[in-house]
Amino acid sequence: MITDEYARTLASVNDRIRDLKDSGFYTFEMPFTAAPGGRSEIDHREVIMLTSGNYLGLAGHPEINKAVKDALDTYGSGACGARLNNGTTVLHLELEEKLAEWMGTEAAITYSSGYMANLGTISALCDSDTIVITDQINHMSILDGCRLAEGAVKIFAHNSMEKLEYVLKRNADAKKKFVVVDGVYSMDGEIAPLDDIHRLTEQYGAMLMVDEAHGTGFLGENGRGAGEHYGIIPDITMGTFSKTLGGVGGFVTASHDIVEFLRHSAHAYMFNASLPAPTVAGVLKALELMRREPWRTEKLWENTMRFRSGLIRAGFEVLGSVTPVIPILVGDDIAALRMSKELVDDGLYISGAIFPAVPKGRARFRATVTAAMTTEDVDRAVELLADAARRHNVLA
């Protein structure tokens, strides 16, 4: 039954959501009716897409669609089982082999999502003898994985190497130390200082795991992410198929020993349904296209630089982003909500973040630039954002 205490808990969130919906400013879970290219459709109305993680514009590629359809005819829509039972196909094994080759590691394991990859990996490896050390603004999937871990969790101030070293030094006698960070921070677009983090983990004997969800495909010479950008290979790298590779699912690359351990210890792998074979086929084709069509990475960076410089010229504060994830500071929560709704009406879809997702007075939009955008899309997006900002006195 729903007791009064549960009712109060539900109301603490639902009342705010209802007020937001009643005000007309609720722009979440809008019904899309087309693929997430440079432009998409909300309820059959065209919008410029600045929220998708489809960085290289591969989602909906004809060759990927064909690979998915062919696998659907062969394997059906789903295995109806976990990987350890009947959920493994030759496509799963081929994908894991190609992922390990791409990332320059011995082995790979796939999960049903990036969220599950972090949850399963961190909770499996971090037992009661482990000190788990994490950046304070890591993605929620990392933080939730840390909550499931049996070891003590230590949080250090964002990107502070002084604080990280302090925690490592204070716990130097711990049997096992496990440091986990984002390679690219999903709200601010910053690249973590992995060269310094790697140096400290080597110095203090800690294992290093890096979440490369927002870096694979376009950072580093081979698109391996922030680790390759700094010339390091972490002990464990996590990535996702739902962004650059235009599909859904997650993966981890590491040594044979770590991957074998995860296959038989990570609950999010062992007790979770397998990725459908058609999805796996699509990701395999996306990996091939990513290598075959390097112009996509070039176009992504061209669009990113053009969009960022356009925002700065217009008077926006874009914080310290140097990646296709670009935060656009608005400040006031109400202004951000109103602008978000107006922008959708004007033909631009961009995700907003207000308190408590960000500190009070630091409301922002988070733009994710993609290679699928045309130059005209980029310029029009800047124009629409600037017009909305002027209406709400946001620009300096």
pLDDT digits (tens, 9 = 90+) for 351-375: 888 887 788 888 999 999 999 999 9
- Give yes or no: residues 254 and 371 share one domain: no
Catalytic pick among 61, 177, 229, 243: 243
Q: Verify that 152 and 230 share a domain, yes or no.
A: yes
Residues lower than pLDDT 50 in the chain: none
Q: pTM for the whole thing?
A: 0.95
Residue 55 in any domain: the answer is no
139 is catalytic: no
Of the residues 214, 229, 285, 299, only one is catalytic, namely 214
Question: What pLDDT sits at residue 282?
Answer: 99
Residue 274: DSSP 8-state? P
Backbone angles phi, psi at 184, to 5 degrees: -125, 125
Q: Which of 112, 123, 141, 186 is catalytic?
A: 186
Q: What is the pLDDT of residue 150?
A: 96
Structural domain contains residue 12? no
Distance, in Å, from the CA atom of 274 to the CA atom of 32, rounded to the nearest integer, reads 26
Both 362 and 224 in a single domain?
Answer: no
Strands 39-42 and 45-49: antiparallel
Task: Give the CATH number, domain containing residue 117.
Answer: 3.40.640.10
Q: Which domain holds residue 71?
A: 62-292
Q: Could you tell me if residue 57 is inside a domain?
A: no
Q: pLDDT value at position 264?
A: 98
Same domain, 130 and 214: yes
* Burial of residue 8, with CB atoms counted within 10 A of its CB: 0-12 exposed, 13-18 middle, 19 or more buried: exposed
214 is catalytic: yes
How confident is the model at residue 10, as a pLDDT?
96
Check whether residue 235 and residue 249 sit in a common domain: yes
Spell 263-287 as b/e; 16+ CB within 10 A means b.
eeebebbbebebbbbbbbbbbbbbb
pLDDT given at position 353? 86
Question: 69 catalytic, yes or no?
Answer: no
DSSP string, 231-258: T---SEEEEESSSTTSS--EEEEE-HHH
Q: Is residue 16 domain-resident?
A: no
Do 350 and 281 lie in one domain? The reply is no
Nearest to 234 by CA among 215, 250, 218: 215
Let me know if residue 9 belongs to a domain.
Answer: no
- pLDDT score recorded for residue 45: 93
Q: What is the pLDDT of residues 101-135, one digit of tens each?
A: 999 999 999 999 999 999 999 999 999 999 999 99
| Domain total of the chain | 2
Q: Are residues 146 and 272 in the same domain?
A: yes
What's residue 77's pLDDT? 96
Residues 253 and 220 in one domain: yes
